[in-house]
Chain A
Amino acid sequence: MAIMSANYLTKTFQGHTVVDDLSFKLEPGKCVALLGPNGAGKTTTLRMLAGFIKPSQGNIQFNEEQFAKDIRHYVGYLPQYPVFHNWMTGEEFLIYVGKLAYLSKNEAKTKAHELLDLVRLSDDKQKRIGKYSGGMKQRLGIAQALMHDPQLIILDEPVSSLDPIGRREVLNLIRELKKDATILFSTHILNDAEEVSDDILLLNHGKLLKQGAIQEIHSQQETKTIYLAFQDEPKFIEERLKEFNSVFNIKRENTGFAITVHDVNEARAQLLEVIQSEGWNLTKFEVLSASLEDIFIKAVTE
């Protein structure tokens, strides 16, 4: 059962369609990356799913309920540029936000301390948020999104404004969270998506171009690359390999050859056979899937 389904979501701002007829479902326990170039409609989509703005058309359903209440109850949301009341301390802010989500004072306090531990801000909980660094604010932002134990955690570009250390911290945190939560996060950095997410949604011009598990999307690709490296460069290797019909292209790189192939299994057999029969001293044989970047660029430019 999907915990959330978005049905035919469309959002128009002053005649300009930002999100166009978007439909997808989120399975429980998955970490899903929403990918797309800048201006693809990622933030608008997330704001609709967070119940923060209303879709012009379509609807959002949680737990397949017919008459849903305010969807903000189900969602913990971290905006792209989280801004806090800087005069409050981290602890005060979390308790405040918890009480806004109908936790009792004690529940809010307990939960706040638990989350401050999780995001490693316990030592700074008495400090005013105005004195926090960017990474600390982002972690506090994640903590506030979790205060009311939401079914779905939505993070809008959670790492793109951070330095490498802050980025690492937040990615580790996401990896920890995905053990027992459903996460949807947007990013335009494909490495991040590949690193922590199970599924991807690829968005451009407000339309959904691709969706599915990362492995599945990789395996759908028509061509793959096999990377070969040798101790000494074999003579006439390019000429020899080109004879195979499974080989599509050969590219010489610094330390070896990147060979683009149609059918991986066929090509693997043929290549290994010729290597053995010719006695080339192979040092590396690797089947590379097309990078997410290739897929992304291909999908966006098509």
Chain B
Amino acid sequence: MDDLIIQLILPLVILQLILIIVALIDLRRVEATRGPKWVWILIIIFGNLAGPIIYFIVGRKG
């Protein structure tokens, strides 16, 4: 049972981590965001799955 959980959940956790990292890389690169950047850092890291998605959709400016 535990093996199965790790086997199935771990890849998802990795994907979620990739999502967070990519969002943070993008945040570092862009010149301007809607609202302060530190707020976006919090949203991306603690916003669960929705955090990075919301950042990618509305975070960037221009």
- Whether chain A touches chain B in the assembled complex (some CB pair under 8 Å): yes
Q: Which of B1-47 contact A (CB under 8 A)?
A: 31
A131 to B32, CA, bound (A): 11
Q: Which of A59-91 contact B (CB under 8 A)?
A: 86
Closest to B32 in A: A130
A131 to B62, CA, bound (A): 12
The binding surface of chain A is classed by DSSP as: helix
The binding surface of chain B is classed by DSSP as: loop
A86 to B32, CA, bound (A): 12
Residues in chain B near residue A86, CB distance under 8 A: 62
Closest to B31 in A: A130
Residues in chain A near residue B62, CB distance under 8 A: 86, 130
Closest to B30 in A: A130
Q: Which of A76-133 contact B (CB under 8 A)?
A: 86, 130-131
A86 to B62, CA, bound (A): 8
What would be 4 A-B contacts, judged by CB atoms less than 8 Å apart? Answer: A86-B62, A130-B31, A130-B62, A131-B31
- The list of the 4 closest CB pairs from A to B, nearest first, reads A130-B31, A86-B62, A130-B62, A131-B31
Closest CB in chain B relative to A256 CB, distance in Å = 54
A86 to B31, CA, bound (A): 10
Residues in chain B near residue A131, CB distance under 8 A: 31
Closest CB in chain B relative to A47 CB, distance in Å = 24
- A13-41 interface mask toward B, CB cutoff 8 Å, 1 = contact, 0 = none? 00000000000000000000000000000
Residues in chain B near residue A130, CB distance under 8 A: 31, 62
Closest to B62 in A: A86
Closest CB in chain A relative to B56 CB, distance in Å = 14
Residues in chain A near residue B31, CB distance under 8 A: 130-131
A130 to B31, CA, bound (A): 8
A42 to B62, CA, bound (A): 28
Closest to A83 in B: B62
A130 to B62, CA, bound (A): 9
A130 to B61, CA, bound (A): 11
Q: Which of A118-168 contact B (CB under 8 A)?
A: 130-131
